[in-house]
Structure 1
């Protein structure tokens, strides 16, 4: 079995370490805005240079907008990687809001407010949905039901990606 490393946009790590890019990213995160493309891609590009991603990785939350897709394509090509699949987790907005409120209780993140969440959700519907459409046009999207317990969602996602890759639809 190949080890798969999950990489989220390295905002929190950089914010926590107060790197120059992290300080800049914090301004956007605290307001519930997406971090601008130039900053996000710089953070992801640096992270993809780390040795631990070489066996394989899953990007969580990147690319979030269509302009970031070209940047990711270039990053992957220059580092000898290729995108095999895009997992789209689908869940009702109301369930996502409840999860965010629960996370706020558990983690105490100051950016986990209903107002911030709704702003992010609006950005998703306006921008990230377009990125999913681009990948759907490339035949890369694997849609997974994202409701329920995290372990059940994870199992569904793994099974769906394994089935997708085994079907050989991925060039």
Structure 2
């Protein structure tokens, strides 16, 4: 199984990606993990990426693509992979097509997790983080027994800047601007499957598996 998973922040991509990767015994290839691994191991690509990051600049597509290509050439990705966070734009999608064609393979499917913006804001803005132990609670889904206090260690709970509604809406806007062309790119090629990402985690997983069964080899 070779697939790409896309979806806005708060859609549950991380949870579903882990489950799909385990279910199909393929590596979850996350650009964030690749960056951390290359920078942490001081690989040539990692050192080049760090140079841009330290200067406060965006890492060029060429470096990101080279890291992804290197990861997909590793043995555990030979029978399949789940890409999470890549491609982020049409140029990267076109390069991915070329890389896979060169390897004599192609994507099976692109899954888009679809969730309403206001639901994303509710999911993310309700998070509260403990200032002492870092445990994350949620005012609706997993509240602490005493408002503003961590049940685990008694620390004070706070809302991170990233979890404030105005910040989340800006992130959603950026996501839509960057990802809409990629979604369109794959829709035109008949590879896109849209998944309703509202409801329970198990319910979303069931909808994903129903779609993926059509691509089982």
**TM-score category by the smaller chain?**
0.7 to 0.9
What is the count of residue pairs matched by the alignment?
A: 162
From the two aligned structures, give the one with the greater helix fraction.
1
Change (3 A) 1:79 1:100: farther
What is the RMSD computed on CA atoms of the aligned residues? 3.5
Match of 1:88 in 2: 112
8 A contact 1:15–1:26 mirrored in 2: no
From the two aligned structures, give the one with the greater strand fraction.
2
Structure 1 spans left out of the alignment, 5+ residues:
167-171
Match of 1:8 in 2: 30
Tell me, in whole angstroms, the C-alpha distance in 1 between the residues paired with 2:167 and 2:204. 24
Tell me, in whole angstroms, the C-alpha distance in 2 between the residues paired with 1:3 and 1:55. 9
Change (3 A) 1:69 1:91: same
Match of 1:169 in 2: none
Change (3 A) 1:17 1:38: same
Residue by residue over 1:96-117, the C-alpha shift from the partner in whole angstroms, topping out at 9 and shown as x without a partner, is: 33444567833xxx89444654
Match of 1:152 in 2: 203
Change (3 A) 1:23 1:133: same
Change (3 A) 1:103 1:16: farther
2:47 aligned residue (20, 44, 49) = 20
From the CA coordinates, give the structure whose radius of gyration is larger: 2
Aligned runs of 1:125-144 on 2, under 5 Å? 125-144=176-195
Alignment TM-score, normalising by the size of structure 2 = 0.60
Tell me, in whole angstroms, the C-alpha distance in 1 between the residues paired with 2:128 and 2:50. 21
